Amino acid sequence: MSEELNLVTQLATILIAAGIFTIISKALKQPLILGYIIAGFIVGPNLGLIPQFSPESVHEWSELGIIFLLFGLGLEFSYKKLLSVGKPAFLSAGTICIGMLLTGFMLGSVLGWSEMESIFLGGMMSMSSTTIIIKAYDDLGIKDKPYAATVFGLLVVEDLIAVLMMVMFSTMALTHKVSGTDMAYSLAKLLFFLILCFVIGIYLLPSLLKRSRKYLSDEILLIASVGLCFLMVLLANKSGFSSALGAFIMGSILSSTLEGEQISHTITNIKNLFGAIFFVSVGMMVDPSVIIDYWPVILAITLVAMAGILVFSTCGVLLSGKSLDTAVHIGFSLPQLGEFSFIIAGLGCSLGVLSDFIYPVIISVSVITTFTTPYMIKAADPALAFLNRKLPEKWLKRLNSKENTSTNEQEKSLWRKAIKSYLIRIGLYAVILTALSLAITEFLPMISKVLLPDLSVKAQHMIEVTAALVIMAPFVIGMAINGEEIRNLGAALIIRNRRNRIPIFALIFLRLFFAAYFVISIIMWRYEMARWNILVILGALFIIFLLARRNARQVTRIERRFLENLKEKEEMARKATPVQSLIKDKLAHYDVHIQGIQIHSDFAYTGVSLSDMDFFKITGVNIIKIQRGSRSIVIPSGNESLYPGDFVLAVGTSWQLSNFIELMSEQNEQQDNETPNEEFTVENHTLGNLSYMSGKKLSDLPMRSEGCMVISIMRGGDLITNPSADFVFREGDSVWFAGLRSVISWYK
């Protein structure tokens, strides 16, 4: 049989088997991944029923599947989403990963595994399954529970940690030792690669897509995005990283463009296809003889992994300030090994640092924990009831105290903002200049020899240094000058305290020193210099940087284009949903959210007034807007009614909105669209002793009838969301208003 026909036969076998067993899994109400794994086990080389596959071909199919899986994951990931998941997700994910790495290492040592195998075991045991958890939450109807958002944020952080683990484990496997220096170098190299790809990708891709937008059909977009994915895979491999990392990076860059959602939608079927191929290839690596021989090891890893993840995730959530209820539900959601466990195990096998039996052992553990996932999630409520009965009342009071939604109402200090902006600017330009320096020293000599073969060596060196300085000049100037934000913050700090001039000038000279370093390093690439030469060059550079302020427009244009591309998707969303964007922007640090609901044609309360529906008493939410066709009803009164086709925006805490969604779920389906309304705004004001609202009850203020309402009040350290009608305002209350700008201005 020819190689091409053998490839078709293998693909046909994989897909037919996957189709049959996923139908069976669906009929038995089990996750599709189990069907894929069982299909791979049946047709794989270890069982011998269908002798089509060799270990090499299985690895090739697995590698291709991983690329598309990580590309799809990157399209659902964004750097902004990572920054918005909050402290609970970061702290919990970090606690799980560190705790399970240590637990896995100790368990591997007890089982007699090598040091490298024990480290890989810890990494595999620390990764929960995003796919399985989302599927289980959908099946159980708890995707809108208050703790679900923290679970999904935690999984996003875990995915990023898994990518970092893959890089670190690859380095350790290649050096065959655990060295702090090697680990630091690998992390620095990874950080450099990520920042460089992010900066170049955000600067170029959105602009290219914008210029060709009118030609981008789904077909062209699919071809272009897959091509970019494979291009980044090649770049990652050339840089010493895995194919999976390259696919993930390109997906995350494309996700930040306006076409990101369209690409994600277009690529879905291909991602599902190759995802199925990957999980089938995972099943092919299951050796039944290994499972029989190592069942005590499988049982031990299963029990330790489930117990460890449960304990560490619960503790991490509690440490982040969440209640015992939230911590227990999250802890019981996570105890299973997921896709990245397979990927990390496959990485170890391909690098030759894991024994052959470990891969089928990990897959067996994953299958067992996948089966137990729905039952573990359901067990959270009985476990919580047991803890409420057994724990001392003092502990329960402390654990169930109100979650701290904001530790500081005020914005960060000017100094913290200035230092943050300063470090970001220096870091970004340092990465760009380092990449340019590496490229220049690598390729410029070859170019000069080809184009100028007859020149002397000295002349070639002079031309190379001059060309290098010209290429690097805009970015050297960018590092040397102040950005607009830094300039404004510096001026504000000096106005506030003239003593701030000294540290600000020190930061300026430090930045000049960094810029000068890159210039001097390029000069010293071709010329040896004594100390006095360096001093002369430093003086000349200082004059150049002072004069460069006149030529800073080019740098400013580059920066402005980068920022516009970075914020383009966010700005489009802001224009499309102005009310939701205002709530998210101005109350981002609080547990105050907005939820859109489309009224179904079978809505039971059609024509009933809001006051009669009594949403507030039942759920605690407030209706802030009704969109009825082209008409927007902002801050509707209690006499307003709801009709099929209306789009309703409700505001409240996570718990309140969860109750609201549960109440409406039988009649409605959630939507995310909203017609813009430029008059609507969200503003904050602190009441003084002469304020009109001070000393008055909320029920005494005719706000709703005038198109305005109070969302939240910060009193002391407590945030009160959607206050009741008998709430009395007093001096010092920090009040968040929502409604028409003109009405809010009157109450302020």
pLDDT tens column, 142-170? 766 767 767 877 877 887 788 778 777 87
Quick check: 215 pLDDT over 60?
yes
- CATH code of residue 212: 1.20.1530.20
403 in a structural domain: no
CA 574 to chain centre: 20
Q: Are residues 349 and 431 in the same domain?
A: no
> Which amino acid does the sequence have at 637?
S
390 in a structural domain: no
The Cα–Cα gap between 219 and 75 comes to: 17
- Residues 428, 191: contact at Cβ < 8 Å? no
Query: How would you classify residue 456: left for phi > 0, otherwise alpha for psi between -120 and 50, otherwise beta?
Result: beta
Domain boundary among 560, 587, 618: 560
646 in a structural domain: yes
Q: What average pLDDT does range 390-394 have in this prediction?
A: 79
Nearest to 334 by CA among 387, 286, 372, 391: 372
Q: Are residues 581 and 729 in the same domain?
A: yes
> Which amino acid does the sequence have at 667?
Q
- How confident is the model over 319-335, as pLDDT tens digits? 877 778 888 888 888 88
Per-residue burial over 388-412, b if 16 or more Cβ lie within 10 Å, else e, is eeeeeeeebeebeeebebbeeeeee
Q: Are residues 306 and 441 in the same domain?
A: no
Query: Domain range for residue 552?
Result: 414-560
Q: Are residues 7 and 111 in the same domain?
A: yes
Specify the DSSP element, H or E, that contains 593: strand 593-598
Two tokens, residue 75: 């399209």
Beta-carbon contacts of residue 187 (< 8 Å; ≥ 6 apart): 164, 167, 168
Q: Are residues 352 and 435 in the same domain?
A: no
pLDDT in the model for residue 304: 92
Q: Are residues 584 and 548 in the same domain?
A: no
Q: Are residues 588 and 653 in the same domain?
A: yes
Q: Is 730 helix (H, G, I), strand (E, B) or coil?
A: coil
Query: How would you classify residue 629: left for phi > 0, otherwise alpha for psi between -120 and 50, otherwise beta?
Result: left
- How confident is the model over 612-643, as pLDDT tens digits? 776 666 677 778 788 887 777 877 877 788 88
Q: Are residues 526 and 607 in the same domain?
A: no
Domain boundary among 331, 363, 382: 382
Q: Is 199 helix (H, G, I), strand (E, B) or coil?
A: helix
CA dihedral (728, 729, 734, 735) in degrees, to 10, reads 80
Q: Residue 423 to residues 357, 414, 507: CA-CA distances in angstroms?
A: 47, 14, 10
* E strand spans, 116-184: none
What proportion of the chain, given as a percentage, has pLDDT over 70?
78
Q: Is 737 helix (H, G, I), strand (E, B) or coil?
A: strand
Which is it for the CA torsion 310, 311, 313, 317, positive or negative?
A: positive
399 in a structural domain: no
- How confident is the model over 515-574, as pLDDT tens digits? 878 887 887 787 776 655 666 666 666 655 655 555 556 666 777 777 677 666 666 666
Average pLDDT, the chain: 76
407 in a structural domain: no
Structure confidence at residue 670 as a pLDDT band (50, 70, 90): very low
Quick check: 423 pLDDT over 60?
yes
User: What total of structural domains would you count in the chain?
Assistant: 3
What single-letter DSSP state applies at residue 392?
A: -
SS (H, E, C) 426-447: HHHHHHHHHHHHHHHHHHHHHH
743 in a structural domain: yes
The Cα–Cα gap between 578 and 360 comes to: 51
Place of tokens 């969303």: 573
Sheet holding 593-598, edge to edge: 631-634, 622-628, 647-652, 593-598, 669-670
pLDDT in the model for residue 301: 92
- How confident is the model over 686-741, as pLDDT tens digits? 887 777 788 888 888 877 777 788 888 887 667 787 788 788 888 888 888 887 77
Q: What average pLDDT does range 188-205 have in this prediction?
A: 80
Q: Are residues 361 and 478 in the same domain?
A: no
Q: Are residues 545 and 583 in the same domain?
A: no
Two tokens, residue 475: 């970015």
Domain boundary among 533, 560, 587: 560
The Cα–Cα gap between 376 and 394 comes to: 28
pLDDT in the model for residue 328: 87
The Cα–Cα gap between 397 and 417 comes to: 37
- CATH code of residue 661: 3.30.70.1450
Q: At what angle do helices 457-480 and 553-576 cross, to 10 degrees?
A: 50
- Residues 71, 247: contact at Cβ < 8 Å? yes
Q: What angle do CA 308, 314, 319 make, to 5 degrees?
A: 120
Q: Are residues 97 and 136 in the same domain?
A: yes
Q: Are residues 149 and 219 in the same domain?
A: yes
Quick check: 177 pLDDT over 70?
no
571 in a structural domain: no
Quick check: 673 pLDDT over 60?
no
393 in a structural domain: no
The Cα–Cα gap between 630 and 515 comes to: 55
